[in-house]
Structure 1
C-alpha cells in the first residue's frame, strides 16, 4: 500500500470537492455564502439567445442573480427548475435572473433552455470571458448582486433557489 505524498493532495482535495458539489453534497438545501468583503460585481456584457445585449451595469437599482451553468452539468440542470420558480415568485419585484452559459454552442443551449422552459434571459459566454472575470471554477456557480451593483452572496454548486431561506435573503436585498 502506497502512502499519499503531500503533492497528491493538490489533486485529491479539489477532485473530492468537485465530486461533492456535483453530487449535491454541498450547497443542496439552500446553502448561500455571504461575501466577506463587499465589492462591485465584475463586468458582464453578453448577448442572450436572441442576440439582445445585457450588461450588469444597466441593471443597477435591481437585485440580480447571476447563475453560471453548462448543459453537460447535471447539478446545473437539476437546479434550473428552482430558479424558474424563484423567477415566477419574484416576477413583480425589482429582481432579475441571468443564466450565463459558458463555452457552449448556441443551438445546444437554446434546445436545453426550451426543454426546461427557462423564463429568464439565457446569456452566452462562448469564450468564457465572463466566467473568468467572475472567477468561476465550478458549475453551477451563482452570485447575488445588490441594487448598487455589489456582490453580496455566492453559491458554489446547486441551490434550491425557491427555498424559504433563499427567498428571504433575496427579499432582504430587494428591500435595501
Structure 2
C-alpha cells in the first residue's frame, strides 16, 4: 500500500511539473543579439530574421497543440492592430505541418508572418515552454523574453520603453 502511495505522489509531482513548465519565466533588459535564422513560411518561401533590422520584432514560439498559444494569438492580433507595420509579428510554429497550422490558427495566418521551425531555432532561443514571446529591438537585441501568456498591453509597454 505504501508503494502505491509513493508512486501516486511521484506521478502527481511529475504532472504538476509538466503543467507548470510553460507557465511564466521572464527576462527583462538586454540579452544581446538575437540569433539570426532562416525558416520557411507557410508558402515555402525563405524568411530571414535579420531582414527586419530597423524595426521591433515580436517573435512568438507556439505549437498547434497548445491552447494557451491560441489565446496568445488574440494578444498578438491586438499588438498588430495597434502598431501596424511599425512592429513585425512573427509566429514560429514548432514541429508541425502547414495543414495543421492553417487549421488551428485559421485567420491569423493571413495577418502576419508564420514560420515553420524545421531547424531547431527554438533551442537557440531557449524555448522550454510555449507560448514564448521574445521582443527584439531595432538593433537586433533581445529586450524581453517570456514563457507563458503575455498580455498585449505588456508587450506594447516593453516596446515603448525601449523605443
Whether 1:120 aligns to 2:109 is no
Q: 2:137 aligns with which of 135, 146, 150?
A: 146
Structure 1 runs (4+) deviating above 3 angstroms are 1-4, 15-18, 115-118
Q: Deviations over 1:49-94 (max 9, x none)?
A: 122322111111111111100110011011111101111110042x
Query: Cα distance, 1:141 vs. partner?
Result: 1.1
Q: Does 1:98 align with 2:98?
A: no
RMSD (Å), alpha carbons:
2.6
Cα deviation for residue 116 of structure 1 reads 4.4
Alignment partner of 1:77 is 2:70:
yes
Give the alignment of 1:28-107 within 5 angstroms. Answer: 33-35=27-29, 38-93=31-86, 95-107=87-99
SS at match of 1:114: helix
Query: Is residue 101–residue 125 contact of structure 1 (8 Å, CA) maintained in 2?
Result: yes
Cα distance in 2 for residues equivalent to 1:32 and 1:119:
26
Deviation at 1:131, TM superposition (A): 1.0
- Aligned partner of 1:172 in structure 2 is 161
Bigger proportion of residues as strand: 2
Q: What TM-score, normalized to structure 2? A: 0.82
Structure 2: how far apart are the matches of 1:134 and 1:92? 24
Task: Give secondary structure in 1 for the equivalent of 2:79.
Answer: helix
Count of aligned pairs: 157
Unaligned runs of 5+ in 2: none
Query: TM-score normalised to the size of structure 1?
Result: 0.77
Checking the alignment, whether the CA contact within 8 Å between 2:79 and 2:155 is kept in structure 1 is: no
1:118 offset after TM fit, Å? 5.1
Which residues of structure 1 form unaligned runs of 5+? none
Please identify which structure carries the higher helix content: 2
User: CA offset at residue 21 of structure 1?
Assistant: 5.7
Name the CA shift for 1:32/1:135 in 2 (closer, same or farther; >3 Å). Answer: closer
Q: 1 CA distance for matches of 2:68 and 2:124? A: 22
Q: Aligned partners of 1:139 and 1:105: how far apart in 2?
A: 17
